[in-house]
Amino acid sequence: MTRAISLHDVSKTYTSKGPRVVDRLSLDIAPGEFLVLLGPSGCGKSTLLRMIAGLEEITEGELLLDGEYANDLPPAGRDMAMVFQSFALYPNMTCRDNIGFPLRIATPAADPRPHVDATARMLGIEDLLDRFPRQLSGGERQRVAMGRAIARRPSAFLMDEPLSNLDAKLRTHLRAEISRLTRDLGVTTVYVTHDQSEAMSLGDRVAVLRGGVLQQVGTPRTVYALPRNVFVAAFIGTPRINLLRGLVRAPLGGAMTIRLGTQSLLLPEPLSRDHQLLRVQQGREVVVGLRSEAVRIAAPSAARPGEVPLTGVVEHLEFQGHEVLVHVDTGSSPAHVPELEAARPDRRPVRRRRRESRVQERLRERAGALRGAPVAVLDRPAEPAPPPPAAAQPRLPGDLVVRATPDLALRPGVQVPLLVDLAHLFVFDHHGERVCPAPERAPDLTE
Ligand SMILES: Nc1ncnc2c1ncn2[C@@H]1O[C@H](COP(=O)(O)OP(=O)(O)OP(=O)(O)O)[C@@H](O)[C@H]1O
């Protein structure tokens, strides 16, 4: 039977005065679901997995397995199998004995052979059964480790970065195998990774963690299309989302615009509900997020409804084979959001942080002035400084990466027309929270 796993306000501290490495986290995992825990190194993914497995004590909060309180249930009583990054096979046992080991522990009197053979067939490793782990490649070892987890038909799989010791090609291959196997078996799976593409391709849902705090949980499509904050937006998706410093202008009786450095995005009238949400940001600095597919190189005359024009100068081309990533200078400034993007939020007192950030700000500005490239600081006062006289105007660096087909004749220095699809424009406030679009923008996605 496959398990429902629920975490209610679960926290973990390793020492009495230590920080919460998992911080009041609540999550419901449905029976048969494939849930991926995703986040940067040290965000608490493994700790959470180990608490579910019973290998780590829960400091606060509740773990429920099929609705039953399970904080104190010993690991063996949870009927879960773990697969680790390090394979963790017994070196002095053959693959057959490795796979059969949990079966022999569970029911010593029963012959494990039929189960082991069936499992090996499922994984395509029948030929490896009489070999020792040292006689196997990394991919084969991980298959055997999977076999050991599968053989006794647990009610949940807990996988801790099982593919990260393998090369890229094998990882992709085994990813597909894991997906097929877990779906065929219909077993609840919790899978830890810091690799966003792995998370997106495997998970029914993805739970994004930062500094022990759950940022967002949703289907891969939802977390990509409606990231709740800058951290999720920047962590998910390749190439990385373009984050630009913007300023909302909503003059009474005038058209609303988002200023991006030297150019503006004109929001079409009548304003959509999403864009109406931006009124409260009037005069404030915001972070504009544009994924590379939200902008295309095309003339204004080719604009579809909802697309608005910009122009830019090609700075750099990254040839990818099937496409080219075009780095364009649009005269905008990249939003400087290290605090919002950092693996761990800065928990130091605000006053101390402000003092430091003012010093850092001055240093950054000085460095920017030297390079002729001012860098945006998010927590700065809203109104930007008046532009310097044209002659003295420093060159603003562009920060827009756009996808293009390889047949487009482009080279650095060429000016290109751009169209921005407003339906794919994200606006984040100064706390990094998404203001726009609202969920109604994508009715087939739920938050
Ligand atoms: N046994 C321990 N004692 C004290 N601190 C620990 C212990 N295990 C983990 N930590 C700390 O808890 C935090 C979360 O660690 P954890 O291993 O859960 O993160 P993770 O997201 O799985 O990281 P990675 O992807 O690098 O494995 C880290 O700051 C880590 O240093």
Take atom 20 of ligand 1 and give the residue whose Cα is closest. 42
Same domain assignment for residues 190 and 297 = no
* Pairing assessment for the beta strands 205-210 and 213-218 based on DSSP bridges: antiparallel
| Average pLDDT over all residues of the chain | 84
pLDDT of residue 357: 54
Q: Quick one: pLDDT band at residue 425, thresholds 50, 70, 90? A: very high
Same domain assignment for residues 135 and 203 = yes
Q: Does residue 236 belong to any structural domain of this protein?
A: no
Distance in Å, CA 44 to ligand 1 centroid: 6
Q: Quick one: pLDDT band at residue 408, thresholds 50, 70, 90? A: confident
Percent of the residues in the chain that have a pLDDT greater than 90, as a whole number: 52
Q: Does residue 314 belong to any structural domain of this protein?
A: yes
Instruction: Write out the H or E segment, with its range, that includes residue 243.
Output: strand 242-249
* Pair 357, 350: CB distance under 8 Å: no
Tens digit of each residue's pLDDT (9 = 90 or more) over 110-150: 888 888 998 888 888 899 999 999 999 888 888 898 888 88
Same domain assignment for residues 257 and 196 = no
Residues with CB under 6 A from ligand 1: 14, 21, 39, 41-47, 194
- Tell me how many domains the chain contains: 2
Same domain assignment for residues 137 and 224 = yes
Res 99 pLDDT > 50 = yes
Q: Which string of DSSP letters, residue by residue, matches 43-54? A: SSHHHHHHHHHT
Q: What is the CA angle 66-72-78, rounded to 5?
A: 45
Same domain assignment for residues 157 and 246 = no
Q: Does residue 366 belong to any structural domain of this protein?
A: no
Q: Quick one: pLDDT band at residue 201, thresholds 50, 70, 90? A: very high
pLDDT of residue 361: 54
Domain of 74, in residue numbers: 5-230
Q: Does residue 355 belong to any structural domain of this protein?
A: no
Distance (Å, rounded) from C-alpha 314 to C-alpha 28? 47
Higher pLDDT, 109 or 154: 154
Distance in Å, CA 262 to ligand 1 centroid: 44
Q: Quick one: pLDDT band at residue 215, thresholds 50, 70, 90? A: very high
Distance (Å, rounded) from C-alpha 287 to C-alpha 430? 7
Same domain assignment for residues 225 and 247 = no
Percent of the residues in the chain that have a pLDDT greater than 70, as a whole number: 84
Same domain assignment for residues 253 and 209 = no
Whether pTM > 0.90 for this model: the answer is no
Same domain assignment for residues 247 and 109 = no
pLDDT of residue 362: 56
Same domain assignment for residues 221 and 253 = no
Tens digit of each residue's pLDDT (9 = 90 or more) over 361-390: 554 545 444 333 333 333 333 333 333 333
Q: Which string of DSSP letters, residue by residue, matches 210-239? A: ETTEEEEEE-HHHHHHS-SBHHHHHHSSSS
